[in-house]
Copies of this chain bind each other. A is one copy, B any other.
Amino acid sequence: MLLSTKGDYGVRAMIDLAKHAGEGPVQRSEIARRRQIPESYLDHLLAQLRRAGFVRSTRGPSGGHELAKPASDINLLSLLEALEGSLAPLGCLEPAVGEEATESICGQNWVWQEIYDEMRARLAAVSLAELVEHEREHERQAVISYNI
């Protein structure tokens, strides 16, 4: 039932990029260090994100990665689905071509369908910009409590 690290790491990386948007490309080594992601693994995630059209990469010295579109235009749902594939909690909810029929022997899928729909709606309503905003808010509070 756990989200794999791919999704978690990928979103972390995207938050990092969004936070440094407009400051030119960010290197993967920077991201890996700040967000505690194995660098060689991050490579693959960035490749996936680039293929999905979320980031733009530039090679050569002073190259790196940056968002391909504004952070407010990227929502968590599309991001996670690009990284993880379907988020359905049960195989029978997203029927592969030429399937069905398990409904009659199980009878719990309607509950999960509801939960799944709610979840997708909630994720779709959260943009990357909001996540960054939340993080900044959190940082401010941390600084304040540190100063006391």
Contacts and interface: CB of A to CB of B under 8 A. Distances in A.
A59 to B, nearest CB: 27
Interface stretch (A2-10, A20-28, A46-54, A64-72): A2-10
B3 A107 contact: no
Contact of A35 (B76, B90, B105, B132): B105
Classify chain A's interface size: 35 or more
A69 to B, nearest CB: 19
A105 B36 contact: yes
B15 A108 contact: yes
Interface string A87-122: 111110000000000011111101110110011001
Contact of A119 (B35, B110, B119): B119
A126 interface: yes
Interface of A: 1-4, 8, 11-12, 15, 34-36, 76, 84, 86-91, 103-108, 110-112, 114-115, 118-119, 122-123, 126, 131-132, 134-135, 138, 142
A5 B89 CA distance: 11
30 contacts: A1-B3, A1-B84, A1-B89, A2-B90, A3-B89, A8-B106, A8-B108, A12-B105, A12-B106, A12-B107, A12-B108, A15-B108, A34-B105, A35-B106, A76-B108, A76-B111, A103-B138, A104-B138, A104-B142, A107-B131, A107-B134, A107-B135, A108-B131, A110-B134, A111-B122, A111-B123, A111-B126, A111-B131, A118-B118, A119-B119
